[in-house]
């Protein structure tokens, strides 16, 4: 296991799914984890799980679409930890089903505010301290939709492409000062959110087959498999990795 011993970390959208798995994996690896979550109740659940397992976590209720709350979160972390924040994971995100003709401007703006501006706000707030210390790792959670078009996922594809572009631009600018920025791009992941959506279909098992089919491994990922990559990218063992696109897609993009 890669060590995050004594690292100060923030994981957004950590109340469930991939974010919760990353927060729990970070804590198991020795990090202090700020569970940054819009939904206070789900954030508390993640903190409780971490503490029950012997880890250390703090709840931080934050709306990533609001610049002031992002700045307040980073200020709190820095004040409480001697101007240190070692790792930021931008995981918070939302989706939308539709083509450009069925996607209203309000839908696109909502996804842009969460998926792109959320990352922008938090990076802007945390980077001065990382640059000053000449150290830090930012892990952005993209998607298979960051590297290829997805049918009826217009707004999601647009914004996840932007997340990858943001990652690459930051990596170019920040490499010389020792701050690393990488992007994890999962295929479909079996999260509580996905399972809830499956139950909405008349034949959940048939739709599950359709979701699994594009992956050459013929299954969806587990959140823990995404978390394992995040631990590596947050650790010192990945010190020569920046600007990278980590495809964890079960072969989805292999033939694309």
pLDDT single digits (tens) 173-230 = 999 999 999 999 999 999 887 887 788 778 888 888 888 999 999 999 999 999 999 9
d(CA 138, CA 132): 15
**Cα(62)–Cα(69) distance, rounded to whole angstroms?**
6
In the prediction, which pLDDT does 120 show? 98
pLDDT tens for residues 31-80?
A: 999 999 999 999 999 999 999 999 999 999 999 999 999 999 999 999 99
pLDDT on residue 49:
98
At residue 218, the pLDDT reads 92
- Provide the pLDDT for residue 92: 97
Mean pLDDT calculated for residue range 237-246: 97
d(C-alpha 255, C-alpha 121), whole Å: 35
Active site (annotated) includes residue 156 = yes
Per residue in 101-121, pLDDT tens? 999 999 999 999 999 999 999
Higher pLDDT, 256 or 163: 163
Between CA 34 and CA 96 the distance in angstroms is 28
- pTM attached to this predicted model: 0.95
How many angstroms separate the CA atoms of 126 and 11, rounded?
Answer: 13
Catalytic residue, chosen from 34, 38, 120, 156, is 156
Q: Specify the pLDDT at position 198.
A: 80
**How far is the CA of 2 from the CAs of 31, 69, 158, 236, in angstroms?**
11, 31, 33, 8
Task: Give the domains, in start order, of the chain with CATH numbers.
Answer: 8-189+224-248 (3.40.50.720)
pLDDT at 256: 62
Nearest Cα neighbor of 213 from 183, 166, 255, 170 is 255
Which candidate, 2, 230, 7, 253, places its Cα nearest to that of 130? 7
Does residue 127 carry a pLDDT above 70? yes
Closest CA to 4 of 75, 71, 55: 55
What pairs with residue 115 in β-bridges?
A: none
């Amino acid at each position: 296991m890669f060590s995050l011993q004594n690292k100060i970390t923030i994981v957004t959208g950590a109340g469930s799914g991939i974010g919760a798995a990353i927060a729990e994996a970070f804590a198991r690896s020795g990090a202090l984890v700020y569970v940054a979550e819009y939904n206070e109740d789900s954030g508390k659940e993640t903190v409780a799980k971490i503490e029950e397992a012997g880890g250390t976590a703090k709840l931080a209720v934050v709306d990533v679409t609001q610049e002031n709350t992002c700045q307040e979160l980073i200020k709190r972390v820095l004040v409480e930890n001697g101007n240190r924040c070692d790792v930021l994971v931008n995981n918070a995100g939302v989706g939308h089903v539709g083509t450009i003709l069925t996607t209203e401007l309000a839908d696109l703006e909502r996804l842009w505010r969460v998926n792109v501006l959320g990352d922008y706000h938090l990076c802007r707030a945390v980077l001065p301290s990382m640059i000053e210390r000449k150290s830090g790792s930012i892990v952005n959670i993209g998607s298979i939709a960051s590297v290829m078009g997805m049918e009826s996922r217009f707004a999601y594809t647009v914004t996840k492409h932007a997340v990858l572009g943001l990652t690459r631009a930051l990596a170019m600018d920040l490499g010389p000062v020792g701050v690393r920025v990488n992007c994890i791009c999962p295929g479909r992941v079996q999260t509580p959110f996905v399972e809830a959506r499956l139950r909405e279909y008349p034949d959940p098992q048939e739709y599950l087959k359709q979701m699994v089919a594009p992956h050459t491994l013929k299954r969806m990922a587990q959140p823990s498999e995404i978390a394992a990559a995040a631990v590596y990218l947050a650790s010192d063992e990945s010190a020569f990795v920046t600007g990278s696109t980590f495809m964890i897609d079960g072969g989805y993009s292999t033939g694309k």
